[in-house]
Structure 1
């Protein structure tokens, strides 16, 4: 990913509805969601949703596929991974242990488990 692509991705994510869409699609996983369900989940009208999904797709952060009469959207793991790599490519000036603090929640499956309740 070059700097212009990163700027496009960050610009896409800098809007509240688009950030909600990406986070939702990451949670849903590779099966994705129909556009209408995405709109309902984030509270966006169809025309507004179409605008936001188009912006995210052009930025390489979501993908669309047709299934019968529906368009299914999913997060682009490749695009999101490239953005993370862009941020970390010059990480830590030779001290990879610092980057481990950032990457551990992504690579440690236990990091996704909820914290135990107190008391």
Structure 2
């Protein structure tokens, strides 16, 4: 990920509603969530949520796909992991990390040197 993409992703996450929506989509996994479910969970008006979801989609952190009469929103895990990688790329100042890497799990498909 380059600096421009990282800034777009960080900017998209820099709002409470967008951050909450993104986190809910990450938790939902590949099944994703409909806007109706997100409205209920987040307690925000439907129109306001749509505005914020557009920003997350534009930043590449979320995708939408039609599913029958619904639209399903899903987190884009490779983009999320690329952002995390960009932010931690130079962790430990380039030295060998003093913390053992965390093992990859289904919830966190890539290991990181700092155990996050």
Asked whether 1:86 is paired with 2:86, we answer yes
- Report how far residue 79 of structure 1 moved: 1.1
What is the aligned partner in structure 1 of residue 30 from structure 2? 30
Task: List structure 1 segments (4+ residues) > 6 angstroms apart after TM superposition.
Answer: none
Q: TM-score normalised to the size of structure 1?
A: 0.80
Other structure's SS at 2:97 match: helix
CA 1:22/1:96 → structure 2, altered by over 3 Å: closer, same or farther? Answer: farther
- Report how far residue 35 of structure 1 moved: 1.1
Compare the two structures and name the one with the higher helix fraction: 1
Asked whether 1:107 is paired with 2:100, we answer no
Q: TM-score normalised to the size of structure 2?
A: 0.82
What is the aligned partner in structure 2 of residue 46 from structure 1? 46
- Report how far residue 70 of structure 1 moved: 0.4
Structure 2's unaligned 5+ residue stretches are 107-116
Asked whether 1:21 is paired with 2:21, we answer yes
- Return the alpha-carbon distance in structure 1 between the equivalents of residues 75 and 105 of structure 2: 21
Other structure's SS at 1:29 match: helix
Tell me the alpha carbon deviations over residues 39-90 of structure 1, each in whole angstroms, 9 at most, x when there is no partner. Answer: 1111111110110000001011111110011000011101101101111222
| TM alignment of 1:50-89, pairs within 5 A | 50-89=50-89
- Report how far residue 108 of structure 1 moved: 6.0
User: CA RMSD of the aligned region, Å?
Assistant: 1.9
Larger radius of gyration: 1
Structure 1's unaligned 5+ residue stretches are 110-119
